[in-house]
Homo-oligomer: A and B are copies of this chain.
C-alpha cells in the first residue's frame, strides 16, 4: 500500500521501518527533518509537509501529545487538508479521548476515514515489530488497514467500533503500569526499612506471584534507585495519568489510584524530576518513610 508516516521518534522510526520491510510504499514526515534520513536510506520517500505525507491510501501519526497531533492535522498543508476521500488516518499516538473523538468527526465530514491504533511496547519492541496494536474503528476501515497494522506489531487487538475506546484502553494500560511502580515503591520502602535487601525481595516477588516482566523491569529500577536516563520521562507519565483521569471524568468513573498517582507525579516534578524516568515516582514512598 501507499502509506505515509508522520512522527519519527523512538517509536515511529521503528514502525515506519517495518512498513518498508513489509514492502509498502512509505512516505515519511518529521518536524526536524534530520530524522527522516535514516528512513530514506531504507527506501522511504521524504515529505516536507505533513500534507505531502498524507496523499496515499493511509497515513500513520505517532506524535508526542495532543498539541503535536493537532498541529500536523489542522495546519495549512496538513493531514486533514490533504487526505483523499476514503483514505485512512491511523492514529497511534497516546492522545486524549476528546481529541480522538474530534478527529473521527472531522475526518468523517471530509469523507475520510479514521482508526485509533495506539500501541503497547517500548522502542526496541517497535524496532523488532513486536509491539501490540490496540485498534478501534469501523470494521471495514480496520480490515482495509490490517496489513499495515500487522506489519508494525506482533498482534492486533480489535476492541470496538468506537475509535476512542482504543485510546482509553491504551491510557488504562499506562495507568496499570504506573500502579505497579507505585505499589512496588511502597512495598520496597516497607521491607527495606525492615532490613530486607531490595533485590532479594524482588527475586521473591518475580519468582512467585509476580512473574510479569513489568515487575522485573520496574522493580529493578526501583531497587537500584536508577531513574536516569529516562526511558519514558516523568512529564509524559503525568500526561497519561491526566488523560486517564480526564476520560474518567467524561465517563464519570472515579479512579482513586489514578488520583494518587497524579499527586505523586506532581510531587516528583515539583521537586526537580522533569528529566527522570517515570518510575521515579516509586522512590517517593521511601522518601516519605525517611529512608531515601
Are B204 and A214 within 8 A (Cβ)? no
Interchain CB contact (< 8 A) of A155 among B207, B255, B260 = B207
A270 touches B290 (CB 8 A): yes
Given A190-B168, A191-B172, A196-B165: A255 and B263 within 8 A (CB)?
A: yes
Interface size classification for chain A: 35 or more
Interface of A is mostly: helix
What's the number of copies of this chain in the assembled complex? Answer: 4
- A200 / chain B contacts, CB cutoff of 8 Å: 157, 159
Check B260–A176 contact: CB distance below 8 A.
Answer: no
**Is A232 engaged at the interface, CB distance under 8 Å to the other chain?**
no
Is B211 a contact of A213 with CB atoms below 8 Å?
Answer: yes
Q: Which residues of B contact A197 (CB under 8 A)?
A: 159
Report A125 CB to chain B, min CB distance, Å. Answer: 10
Of A165, A168, A193, A256, which is in contact with the most chain B CB atoms at under 10 Å from its CB? Answer: A256
The 8 A-B pairs of least Cβ separation, nearest first, read A270-B290, A212-B212, A259-B259, A254-B263, A252-B270, A253-B289, A254-B266, A179-B183
